[in-house]
Copies of this chain bind each other. A is one copy, B any other.
Amino acid sequence: MYRTHTCGELTIADLGKEITLCGWVQKSRDLGGMTFVDMRDRYGLTQLAFNTDDDETLRARARELGREYVIQVKGTVIERSSKNLKIPTGEIEISVSSLEVLNAAKLPPFLIEDETDGGEDLRMKYRYLDLRRNPVRSNLILRHKMAQVVRAFLDNEAFIEVETPVLIKSTPEGARDFVVPSRMNQGEFYALPQSPQTFKQLLMVSGFDRYFQIVKCFRDEDLRADRQPEFTQIDCEMSFVEQEDILNIFEGLIRDLFKKVKNVEIGGLPRMTYAEAMRLYGSDKPDTRFGMEFFELTDFAKGHGFPVFDNAALVVGINAKGCASYTRKQLDALTDFVKRPQIGATGLIYLRINEDGSLKSSVDKFFDLEQLKTWATAFRGEPGDLILIMAGEVDKTRKQLNELRLEMGNQLGLRDKNKFSALWVVDFPLLEWDEETARYHAMHHPFTSPKPEDIRLLDSEPGAVRANAYDMVINGTEVGGGSIRIHDKKLQQLMFKHLGFSEEEAQKQFGFLLEAFTYGAPPHGGIAFGFDRLASIFAELDTIRDVIAFPKNNAGRDVMIDSPSTIAQEQLNELKIAVKN
C-alpha cells in the first residue's frame, strides 16, 4: 500500500501514529541540524522533519529533494514546535524514518504556487502543472461539487438524465456546426450538436416528462468573447408545464446550488420583463448588484434648443451617487469611454449636484436652473450626486448608457464578485431583425413559442411579438435561457415560414420533428444553463477558462497537445476527402 493517509488529514489527534504518506515536494528549508519539507497532495500539506541527529544520511537525502519531486515517506506523527494554525495539519509534523523518491522532477517552467510567475501561454502549454496550483484545482473541485448538487436536485425532482447523440445531423441553419466526415458513409457528414434541442423535445414527445443532461455542446465560431469551441450545458426539459412552473423549479435549483456550494442565500428571483430591463438598464442581462437605474427625461429635455436632445428619440441618464467630486479629467475620461468605437456614443452630458446644493451642467447654456432642478429631482438627486445623460436613437442609446452604467459600477466598487444578484428576464421578443441578412431571425431558436395573444401580430408587426422565453441573469451575465416550445405542427410550420424557410427546407431539416408533433406531442418547455459560465461566477472569476481543465485558446487551439493538427493522407483517403489550398 502506497500510503496510510493523505497529506491533508493528520492532526494533533494522530500524535504517535506510524504513517506512510505520498506527495509532491512543495518546498524545503534548512534550520540548524534539521531539514523541513512541505509535502503536498490534493488534500493538503504536511510538514516532514529530517534531523541530522537521528539519521544523517536520510537528512542529506532530504536536502537533495527538488521542488515537485514525488516522494513516499514513512514516519511518526509528532507535535510541531512552531505551529501553523492556518492549516488543519499545522500542529504536527512527520519525523521521517524512511524516504523513497517515486519520481524525480525537473524544475517546473513556472512556480507551482497560488500566485504564479507563469504567463497565460506557458500555463496553457503546461496545463498539467498549472492544474497543480491550488486556485486552479479548487475551481475544478468547485465545478465537480456543482455538478453533483445539480444532479442530486434534478434527480430528486424526478428528472431523468438521458444521453443524447453527439454525432447528429448538420443543417444549413447550423452555420457554425462542426462536421465529422463518416468513413462508413463516404461523402456524408455528421455534425456535432450546438445543443441537444430537438432530441430533448423528442424525449418530451416520448413521454419522458422531465429530462436533464450535463452535456458538451459545440460551436465553431469566433472565440473572442471568452467562448470555447466546446462548452457544457445543463440541459433540461419538462412536459405539461407553463413558464411559471419552469421558473419556479430552476429558481429552486439555483438557490440550492448557492446554498449548498457557497452557503449563500440568494433569496427569491425577481421577474423583470425584457421591455423593463431594456428601459431600466439598457440590457437584457442587467447587473442588479447595484441600482443606478435609467431615468428617461426625453419629455423634459426636448424643445429647449439643444440640438443633441432635440434630434434624439431618447434622452436618458443615470445618477452616479456621490460622484459630484469627479474632476474635469475624470469626466473627460468618461466621455472618452462612451466615445470608444465599441460603444460609439457621440458625447456625454453631466449634471453635477454639488455638496452645497448648487448645480453645474455641461448644458448650462440651454437649460436654466429651474429646469436643471427638475432633472435633479427626477433622478432623486442629492448633494454629491453626478447625473450622466446620453441621447440618440432608442436602442443604441440604451446600449451605450448600459456600458456607462457598468463602468460606473466598476468605478464605484459596486460589482463585487462575491455578491450575487439573480433575476429572471421574461417576455423576450420572438424575433429580432438582422441588418446583415435583412430579415427576422429567431431570438432564441425556431422552436420557441410566441405568446398566444401576440400571434396575430406575426404578419403585421413581427418585431412586437413576444415569446414565452426567459433568461436567468446573475450579476449581469446570462447564465441560462429557455422557452416554452411549440408543440403544434401547424404553428411550427408557420414559424419556419416567418423565419424564411421554404416548406421543402423545413421538411428536409426538421421533418422528423414536425412529424413527431403529429403523434401526440405534449405541451413542453425547458431551459439550458451555460455550466462553464455558471461555474466561473461561482468561482468568482472573470473568465470561463479556469473552470475548464483543458481549455482551448482564442484560436481554438489546445497548445498542450498541439491540436488541431494536420492528419495523414491515408486518413484523408479513407474518408474520401481532400484538403484544398
Q: Interface residues, chain A, CB within 8 Å of chain B?
A: 1-3, 6, 22, 24, 40-43, 68-70, 72, 102-106, 108, 126-129, 131-132, 137, 140-141, 144, 147-148, 151, 155, 160-170, 172, 175, 177-185, 187-192, 198-199, 202-203, 205-209, 216, 218, 220, 223, 229-230, 232, 239-242, 245, 487-488, 512, 516-523, 548-550, 552, 555-558, 560-568, 570-571, 575-581
A241 to B2, CA, bound (A): 6
A239 to B220, CA, bound (A): 36
Look across to chain B and name the residue whose beta carbon is closest to the beta carbon of A188: B564
Contact in complex: A182, B512 (CB < 8 Å): no
22 pairs across A/B with beta carbons < 8 Å?
A2-B242, A3-B240, A6-B209, A43-B209, A68-B519, A68-B520, A132-B206, A137-B206, A140-B208, A163-B549, A166-B216, A166-B230, A169-B561, A169-B565, A178-B180, A179-B180, A182-B564, A184-B555, A198-B561, A512-B562, A577-B579, A578-B578
Contact in complex: B160, A144 (CB < 8 Å): yes
Q: Which 8 A-B pairs have the closest CB atoms?
A: A105-B520, A131-B206, A169-B563, A188-B564, A2-B240, A68-B520, A128-B202, A182-B564
Contact in complex: A206, B128 (CB < 8 Å): yes
Look across to chain B and name the residue whose beta carbon is closest to the beta carbon of A566: B188
Look across to chain B and name the residue whose beta carbon is closest to the beta carbon of A244: B1
- Across-interface contacts of A216 in B (CB, < 8 A): 163, 166, 216
CB within 8 Å for A128 and B240 given contacts A179-B567, A207-B137, A566-B187? no
A568 to B509, CA, bound (A): 13
Contact in complex: A487, B558 (CB < 8 Å): no
User: Of the candidates B148, B207, B523, B575, which one forms a contact with A41 in the assembled complex, judged by CB atoms under 8 Å apart?
Assistant: B207
Look across to chain B and name the residue whose beta carbon is closest to the beta carbon of A510: B561
Contact in complex: A199, B68 (CB < 8 Å): no
Look across to chain B and name the residue whose beta carbon is closest to the beta carbon of A521: B103
Look across to chain B and name the residue whose beta carbon is closest to the beta carbon of A186: B579
User: Of the candidates B3, B42, B245, B567, which one forms a contact with A1 in the assembled complex, judged by CB atoms under 8 Å apart?
Assistant: B245
User: Of the candidates B128, B199, B207, B519, which one forms a contact with A205 in the assembled complex, judged by CB atoms under 8 Å apart?
Assistant: B128
Contact in complex: B166, A166 (CB < 8 Å): yes
- Across-interface contacts of A104 in B (CB, < 8 A): 520
CB within 8 Å for A103 and B207 given contacts A162-B144, A166-B166, A166-B216? no
A425 to B24, CA, bound (A): 33
- Across-interface contacts of A563 in B (CB, < 8 A): 167-170, 190-191
- Across-interface contacts of A170 in B (CB, < 8 A): 563, 565, 567, 571
Contact in complex: A522, B220 (CB < 8 Å): no
CB within 8 Å for A548 and B209 given contacts A169-B565, A577-B580? no
User: Of the candidates B70, B161, B172, B488, which one forms a contact with A522 in the assembled complex, judged by CB atoms under 8 Å apart?
Assistant: B70
Look across to chain B and name the residue whose beta carbon is closest to the beta carbon of A42: B209
Q: A212 CB to closest chain B CB, in angstroms?
A: 9
User: Of the candidates B70, B182, B185, B220, which one forms a contact with A183 in the assembled complex, judged by CB atoms under 8 Å apart?
Assistant: B220
Q: A204 CB to closest chain B CB, in angstroms?
A: 9
Q: A320 CB to closest chain B CB, in angstroms?
A: 40
Contact in complex: A168, B561 (CB < 8 Å): yes
Contact in complex: B565, A129 (CB < 8 Å): no
User: Of the candidates B129, B190, B207, B516, which one forms a contact with A40 in the assembled complex, judged by CB atoms under 8 Å apart?
Assistant: B207
Contact in complex: A232, B163 (CB < 8 Å): yes
User: Of the candidates B169, B245, B550, B555, which one forms a contact with A185 in the assembled complex, judged by CB atoms under 8 Å apart?
Assistant: B555
Look across to chain B and name the residue whose beta carbon is closest to the beta carbon of A72: B240
Q: A104 CB to closest chain B CB, in angstroms?
A: 8
- Across-interface contacts of A182 in B (CB, < 8 A): 220, 556, 564
- Across-interface contacts of A568 in B (CB, < 8 A): 172
A223 to B184, CA, bound (A): 10
